[in-house]
Amino acid sequence: MLIGLLLMPFSAVPAAGAWPYLTASAVVHVAYFALLMLSFRLGDFGQAYPIARGTAPLLVTLFAAVFAHEVPDAPAAAGIAVCCAGLTGVALWGLRGRRPDRTAIGAALATGLTIAAYTVLDGLGVRASGSPVGYIAWLTALQGLVIPAYALYRRRGELLTAARPFAALGLFGALLSVLAYGLVLWAQTRAELAPVAALRESSVNSC
């Protein structure tokens, strides 16, 4: 939220056509964070995260075809399929010899759905905004309102004491996160949504 507010004076306000996408994306991002944390509580990180990230590009491909009229050609489709198969395979390999937790897998799949939803919303929104920097500034500021409010509600007086030792590191991580997603948004103004999503998810999981 702080980074978004700091960027606002140095960027254009998104065009009117971007605001429905921007607002919906901010809401979906909050749902994504909630479902991601639920996935980590219910299941193993090594299974939940690859499932969520591995299913998202396939859903982005479907949503982009329906809402953006973008159908990848054969090489791009093959690359997306290989990317998703590799990421999902990481999770399946970790499950060998164990009984899968259907609830945890369901939460991870729901997380993947929110990733796909905000990816397409942001792809369409940033194209309509006229300013990728302005779009990321307003998006981070809007979605950043809800999470601190929730933390204040849950932790109340403990929040500042608990957060103070990690404030500088947290701000640095937030800066990297905004920069990384800002680059994704910029890429979505130059290329189709599905290949960008696949490259993003393979990069996230290879790290």
DSSP for residue 11: S
Q: Measure the CA–CA gap between 62 and 84, rounded to whole angstroms.
A: 14
Return the pLDDT at 100: 67
Return the pLDDT at 206: 45
Return the pLDDT at 207: 41
Return the pLDDT at 163: 77
Find the domain containing 129 and state its range. Answer: 2-206
Q: Measure the CA–CA gap between 161 and 107, rounded to whole angstroms.
A: 31
Q: Measure the CA–CA gap between 76 and 71, rounded to whole angstroms.
A: 9
DSSP for residue 8: G
Return the pLDDT at 114: 96
Return the pLDDT at 97: 63
Q: What is the pLDDT along the chain (207 residues), one digit of tens a residue?
A: 889 999 999 999 999 999 999 999 999 998 998 899 899 898 877 778 888 888 899 999 999 999 999 999 999 999 999 888 888 777 777 666 667 678 888 999 999 999 999 999 999 999 999 999 999 999 999 988 887 787 777 777 777 777 788 888 988 999 999 999 999 999 999 999 999 998 888 775 544
For the residues of 154-200, what is the DSSP string, one character each?
HHTTHHHHHHGGGHHHHHHHHHHHHHHHHHHHHHHTTS-HHHHHHHH
Return the pLDDT at 64: 95
Number of domains in the chain: 1
Determine whether 158 is exposed, middle or buried from the number of CB atoms within 10 Å of its CB (0-12, 13-18, 19+).
exposed
Yes or no: say if 84 and 54 are a contact pair by the CB < 8 Å rule: yes
Per DSSP, the chain holds a count of helices (H) and strands (E) of 9, 0
Query: Quick one: residue 182, left, alpha or beta (phi over 0 = left, psi -120 to 50 = alpha)?
Result: alpha
